[in-house]
Amino acid sequence: MDLIKIELPDGSIKEVESGATPYDVALTIGEGLARQSIAAYSDGELVDLNTPLKSSGTLSLITQNSPEALEIVRHSSAHLMAQAVKDLYGDAVQVTIGPAIKDGFYYDFYSETKKFVPEDFPVIEAKMTELAKADQAVLREEISRGDAIELFRGMGEDYKVELIEDLDAETVSLYRQGDFVDLCRGPHVPRTGMLKVFKLTSLAGAYWRGDEKNAMLQRIYATAFLNKKDLKVHLNRLEEARKRDHRKLGKELDLFSFSEEAGGGLVLWHPKGAMLRSIIEDFERKEHLKRGYELVVGPQILKTDLWKMSGHYDNYRENMYFTEVDEQGYGIKPMNCLAHMLIYKSKPRSYRNLPVRYFELGTVYRHEKSGVLHGLLRVRGFTQDDAHIICRPDQIDAEVKGVMNFVQDVAGIFGFEYVMELSTRPEKSIGSDADWDQATNALRSALEDSGLPYELNEGDGAFYGPKIDVKLKDALDREWQCATIQCDFTLPERFDLTYVGTDGEKHRPVMLHRVVLGSIERFIGVLIEHYAGSFPLWLSPVQAVVLNVTDSQAAYAQQVFEQLREAGVRVELDIRNEKLGFKIREAQVSKIPYMLVIGDREMENQTIAPRYRNGKNMDAMTVSDFISMVQTEASAYK
């Protein structure tokens, strides 16, 4: 009998027979631990609980209380859902992929005859529950690539066959539970009986492999948890998210719309939405000027040759639109950096002139696939609060920290918490290793000196340089990518940007690409959901509405309206011949901060009776006192 030594996290050693599994090791410690275990790390590798251990090494059990447990349960639940769908609909449905994602999982299905609808969810959930109660063993199997292709082809699973054919491997791993088999790396829970708390949540379309030229699949989203309490909390959060959906609120608040006549992903800003946008853009200009930025404006199209010089043509062409003028090719700008570099090159620069900080609220256009367009959060035409800082290498640290401080200030003003990530060189990139190392080290140093926590996101930098990404956390604790800081040694080289140094010689500057809010469209979508449409007073497109009780107060209501408007209050007048309660309810649905009610008493005393949007009444006050109150409250963000 061959014995192997297994070292546990506490340093203790367990001697077991070669071929014993992590489950067997757990049993030597206690039956309770074995029941709670769902997978393990063997010598640092994530494995199934029934994986044979063939040599001495380390072992760390993953229990239901481990941080990794939830993702494994969700991935296993995706297989359970696919098994249920196949049991219910058989050969009418083909399975494709089903990963765990943040907050849940999904599975994509193809069918020419079966159209999934939300009414199918209880049926599928019931079948999942039945399969879970059967407590089927979940078994891993490794077979040759050729045998796997033959297996799935015989099952009529064409999408699985395509996946396997594209794999560069001699063997592949499968997972079986009952009659269901799926292609997967794993790991999974050892038995379906461990999957007890799940809920199907929504449907969506998805192109096979994300390519709109491929077949449209049906994606069923779902979630799973280890206990019912966590599921209930999650479902309540989803319900709150549905109430806050910026597309729903954008329509209710009359902020923006989309039109197929105009084209997908192109926003039509209504008066109130345009006012909200203008408030944010005015704020941006003011804050940038305070921090030493200069305003610039670049053209919407630039010659294709420039996009080739920058590397965008080779690395970003699929996301761009092109046109031709007088037999000359032009690219519609997806970014603002090229024009800013041309402005810098328009005259000689000295080391004394640096840094220069160019800021532009630049509208750009990017070719996004129709399947990924999503309200304001993913559009084809949008405006960035884009800036480029051109500086000496010795100024990088101070400039990066300056941007980080800017981001912190703005996040606080809008009421967001945030997290930071450092993203490093991707496979598809330009520039030398030395430049990438220097740029990455500069960003890392600035982050570490700031004392702010950050995560490392390997391989997710821009094609021309590493970046710091800032993710805002909204009222529902969801993360949204907005601000970014990118350090670029490559484009200054390609565009021959120079400055004259203290030695009288030409030197190469560094360029920092950065946005604070990012896409204005996306940021407004996030704002709507963060505030649930109830914007703070300084952001509200309409700050107050004047309401009369009867026609006899209409003239005084008009007078109050004009007085407020002249004072700079964003105000509406509602003197329709409708009941006061109806007009108040409409104003509340529109989430207007203040309703100014005018009846006979107010007209007689030359006052107004303000009412908060939450229904709370205020004491009567003069119009001038209300104006002072609004001006003080609206300036609080400063």
Longest Cα–Cα distance of the chain, Å, equals 102
Cβ atoms of residues 166 and 173 within 8 Å: no
Residue of 79, 188, 467, 611 marked catalytic:
467
Instruction: Report the Cα 41 to chain-centroid distance in Å.
Output: 31
Helix (H, G, I), strand (E, B) or coil at 420: strand
Query: Which is it for strands 356-365 and 381-391: parallel, antiparallel or unpaired?
Result: antiparallel
Dihedral sign from CA coordinates of 39, 40, 45, 48: negative
> Does 209 qualify as catalytic in the annotation?
no
CA 375/CA 383 separation, integer angstroms = 15
Residue of 184, 337, 391, 482 marked catalytic:
337
Concatenated DSSP letters of 12-37: -EEEEETT--HHHHHHHH-HHHHHHE
> Does 386 qualify as catalytic in the annotation?
yes
Helix (H) or strand (E) holding 141: strand 139-144
- Exposed, middle or buried: residue 205 (CB in 10 Å: 0-12, 13-18, 19+)? exposed
- Exposed, middle or buried: residue 390 (CB in 10 Å: 0-12, 13-18, 19+)? buried
Residue of 160, 191, 513, 530 marked catalytic:
513
Helix, strand, coil content of the chain in percent (nearest 5):
40, 30, 30
CA 316/CA 162 separation, integer angstroms = 27
- Tokens encoding 571: 């105000």
Residue of 86, 244, 357, 388 marked catalytic:
388
Residue of 94, 136, 384, 543 marked catalytic:
384
The residues pairing with 596 across neighbouring beta strands, listed in sequence order, are 546, 610
CB crowding 63-97: b at 16 or more within 10 Å, else e: bbebebbbbbbbbbbbbbbbbbbbbebeeebbbbb
Amino acid occupying residue 445:
S
- Tokens encoding 137: 């063993």
> Does 467 qualify as catalytic in the annotation?
yes
Helix (H, G, I), strand (E, B) or coil at 279: helix
Radius of gyration of the chain (CA): 30
Contacts of 233 (CB under 8 A, 6+ apart): none
Residue of 386, 435, 474, 488 marked catalytic:
386
Helix (H) or strand (E) holding 402: helix 396-414
- Tokens encoding 48: 């199934």
Contacts of 559 (CB under 8 A, 6+ apart): none
> Does 366 qualify as catalytic in the annotation?
yes
Residue of 79, 160, 366, 380 marked catalytic:
366
Q: Where are the beta strands (DSSP E) in 3-103?
A: 3-7, 13-17, 37-42, 45-48, 57-63, 94-95, 100-101
Q: Which residue has the tokens 């939300």?
A: 118
Q: Is the peptide bond before 22 cis (omega within 30 degrees of 0)?
A: no
- Residues labelled as active-site residues: 337, 366, 384, 386, 388, 467, 513
